[in-house]
Chains A and B, each alone.
Chain A
Amino acid sequence: MSEDVNNYDHLIIQGAKYKTTLTKKYKARKAWKLPNQNLIYSFIPGTVVEVLVKPGQKVKQGEPLMVLEAMKMHNNVLMPFDGEVVKINVEPNDKVSKRQVMLEVRAK
């Protein structure tokens, strides 16, 4: 819902500054950040079934790092590029939420 009429804000469109109200939805939008390729996030909440790698281990692109069970499915979490495992933040039976950093890796 639009904010109080007396509570005007500003919005800049193509160099012009407009006096206007902002919506809750607009204010709640998240700023975009460059994703860190070295962090392996959970793409869906679930339960860790198995971690297949150890810190320091060299892994090739496409090889499985761990298995995450979510929505009754065992999902393989794959290595995004050739490199090595830096840190493991989860262990079997851990429940993870969405966008939680499960593993940290780095390119060779």
Chain B
Amino acid sequence: MSLKSNILELRKRKEEVQKGGGDEAIEKQAQMGKLTARERILAILDENSFHEYDLFVEHTARDFGMETKVLHGDGVIIGTGTIYNKPVCIFAQDFTVAGGSLGLMHAQKITKIMDHSLKMRVPLIGINDSGGARIQEGVSSLAGYGEIFFRNTLASGVIPQISVILGPCAGGAVYSPALTDFVFVVENISKMFITGPGVIKSVLGEDISMEELGGARVHAEITGNAHFYAQTEQECFDQIKKLITYIPWNNEERSLPFPSKPPKKSKKVERIVPADPRIPYDMRDIIKAITDGSEFFEIMEHFAPNILIGFGRMEGETVGFVANQPMVLAGVLDTDSSDKAARFIRYCDAFNIPIVTLEDLPGYLPGVDQEHAGVIRHGAKILYAYSEATAPKITVILRKAYGGGYIAMNSRHLRADFVFAWPAAEIAVMGPEGAANIVFRKEIMEAEDPESMRLQKIQEYKEKFANPYVAAAKGYIDEVIEPEETRQRILHALKVSKNKNVSMPRKKHGIPPF
């Protein structure tokens, strides 16, 4: 007897199930400008590397006529594959099958691949395209979400978790992406919200479209829920594959080393930065002037653009950059930029990626809205994240480092390993203008010409305190360096920090100002 007929039977079954929701539903998906779940997986993974599991899983619902319904794969595809020949776990919700709705078995497939990724210490990529909980399955759907959230939390800081929003992701479903490290969104395709436009309209009378409420741009720019924004699915997949090259596969590995390359930029760093601390420049140019090949892979480009975060390489090794951006809001710290930086610092630390901080900020953003929005607790997140981080921490002060901002931006006092300052750096309790107004208040008020006295006193303060040497005299700065030496100094500091080993007090966990 031959196995031939059994093999043919298997092929037939596979072919049938792999069609997902069938031709009509696939056609609809295409009309919405979306790829199918299977196409997406194949586009992200190396060619011919995808291996699927649980293809024949069937739902177990027995109410509301569900017992007669066949849902292929129960609306989700799971499996393993490789990216640049390194293994990853992946799942993709299939909107063509019952709108990608999440029932018990659907969730069980997802949690199976999640368990796998954690056990094998490989990254997890989740593609979300789902109408939400499968109402017919009732509380089983909720249980499913809960099991997913729990695993997201367990895996956090152990393996990279990437969420790709390629369709609706509404209600409780949004919390899985929110618990993961990086969220990718695509213009016109991604929609994320807790409560949809329909409910908002009926309850609140506010009329808003899905796009305006929770479209890709909203999450990239306003809410800060998304880290990467793309115009098309293909651009999004390219971003994922690029990100993957920068990050370690798990918290016990280093990221893939690349060949060292000098920066491309021929422009001298000292020519990028104007001497007057009140004149802006693009901090990205500085980062690009010191990284390998002048490459800077920016994260959360559109949210809180007054601070920059992202990855670059230094002699082939991944480095996380945190840098004030004088071009936007003068580079101040505020609620959003604090959240943005703090989370990234914690990401880098969890995966032992060295953190390079480039500092040039006038302080915190003043305003009732900031105070009432809780700039105190949000700002505290940066202090917490830097203080707690044991990954190598290097700071370069380019121009301004005033007051609380100086302390927050990875100062010596928060245990920076190396602090360098450029010769024009102003490290002081506050900017000369503010300080002069307070310290010389009386002299200015009583002067015949208060305005010229004020300018004179500002200059006096500037000469005495607005420089790096007061801080250098106290050892708060290790070295005052010439701008052109920046890359070389960072490289050396990284080399010295390679085996950094510090221990923190034993604790279950800290209580960061979430």
A residues neighboring B (CB under 8 Å): 1-2, 5, 8, 11, 13-26, 29-30, 32, 45, 70-71, 95, 97-98
Please count the residue pairs between chain A and chain B whose beta carbons lie under 8 angstroms apart in the complex.
Answer: 87
B203 touches A20 (CB 8 A): no
Contacts of B372 in A (CB 8 A): 32
Q: A13-B330, A29-B367, A32-B369 are in contact. Are A18 and B280 (CB under 8 A)?
A: yes
Complex partner residue of B278 from A1, A18, A25, CB under 8 angstroms: A18
Complex partner residue of A45 from B203, B277, B278, B330, CB under 8 angstroms: B203
B279 touches A21 (CB 8 A): no
B204 touches A97 (CB 8 A): yes
* A-B complex: 5 closest residue pairs judged by Cβ atoms: A14-B434, A15-B433, A18-B330, A32-B368, A13-B362
Q: Shortest distance in angstroms between B389's beta carbon and chain A's nearest beta carbon?
A: 27
Complex Cα gap A45–B280 (Å): 44
| B454 nearest in chain A by CB position | A15
Contacts of A45 in B (CB 8 A): 203-206
Q: A19, A29, A70: which has the most chain B beta carbons within 10 Å?
A: A19
Contacts of A25 in B (CB 8 A): 222, 336
A29 touches B369 (CB 8 A): yes
Contacts of B433 in A (CB 8 A): 14-16
Complex Cα gap A11–B222 (Å): 21
Complex Cα gap A1–B305 (Å): 7
Contacts of B363 in A (CB 8 A): 13-14
Contacts of A98 in B (CB 8 A): 204
A95 touches B205 (CB 8 A): yes
Complex Cα gap A2–B305 (Å): 7
Contacts A/B (CB < 8 Å), 22 sampled: A1-B302, A2-B328, A11-B330, A14-B362, A15-B431, A15-B434, A15-B436, A15-B437, A16-B277, A16-B278, A18-B278, A18-B326, A18-B362, A19-B280, A20-B326, A21-B327, A22-B329, A32-B369, A45-B204, A70-B203, A95-B205, A97-B204
Complex partner residue of B329 from A1, A11, A14, A97, CB under 8 angstroms: A11
| A95 nearest in chain B by CB position | B205
A16 touches B327 (CB 8 A): no
Q: Shortest distance in angstroms between A80's beta carbon and chain B's nearest beta carbon?
A: 20
Q: A13-B332, A97-B205 are in contact. Are A1 and B369 (CB under 8 A)?
A: no
A8 touches B205 (CB 8 A): no
| A21 nearest in chain B by CB position | B328
Contacts of B402 in A (CB 8 A): 14
Q: A13-B362, A18-B280 are in contact. Are A23 and B305 (CB under 8 A)?
A: yes
Per-residue CB contact flags for chain B residues 408-436 toward chain A (1 = under 8 Å, else 0) read: 00000000000000000000001111101
B353-405 with Cβ < 8 A to chain A: 362-363, 365-369, 372, 402-403
B280 touches A8 (CB 8 A): yes
Check B478 for interface membership: any CB of A closer than 8 A. no
Contacts of A24 in B (CB 8 A): 221
Contacts of B432 in A (CB 8 A): 16
Interface size band for B: 35 or more
Contacts of B330 in A (CB 8 A): 11, 13, 18, 20
Check B128 for interface membership: any CB of A closer than 8 A. no
B221 touches A13 (CB 8 A): no
A16 touches B434 (CB 8 A): yes
Check B101 for interface membership: any CB of A closer than 8 A. no
Complex Cα gap A17–B327 (Å): 13
Q: A2-B305, A13-B431 are in contact. Are A26 and B204 (CB under 8 A)?
A: no
B280 touches A16 (CB 8 A): no
Contacts of B111 in A (CB 8 A): none
B432-453 with Cβ < 8 A to chain A: 432-434, 436-437
Complex Cα gap A9–B20 (Å): 53
B275-294 with Cβ < 8 A to chain A: 277-280, 282
Contacts of B366 in A (CB 8 A): 13
Contacts of A20 in B (CB 8 A): 280, 326-331
Q: Shortest distance in angstroms between A86's beta carbon and chain B's nearest beta carbon?
A: 26
Q: Shortest distance in angstroms between B125's beta carbon and chain A's nearest beta carbon?
A: 27
Complex Cα gap A17–B330 (Å): 9
A16 touches B431 (CB 8 A): yes
Contacts of B368 in A (CB 8 A): 32
Check B306 for interface membership: any CB of A closer than 8 A. yes
List 4 extra interface pairs beyond A15-B431, A18-B278, CB under 8 A.
A1-B305, A2-B305, A16-B431, A16-B432
Complex Cα gap A20–B331 (Å): 8
Complex Cα gap A19–B326 (Å): 9
B430 touches A14 (CB 8 A): yes
Complex Cα gap A50–B336 (Å): 42
Contacts of B437 in A (CB 8 A): 15
Q: Shortest distance in angstroms between B434's beta carbon and chain A's nearest beta carbon?
A: 3
| B229 nearest in chain A by CB position | A1
Contacts of A21 in B (CB 8 A): 280, 327-329
A11 touches B332 (CB 8 A): yes
Complex Cα gap A45–B203 (Å): 7
Q: A2, A20, A26, A71: which has the most chain B beta carbons within 10 Å?
A: A20
Complex partner residue of A23 from B306, B331, B369, CB under 8 angstroms: B306
Complex partner residue of B221 from A1, A8, A15, A16, CB under 8 angstroms: A1
Contacts of B222 in A (CB 8 A): 25
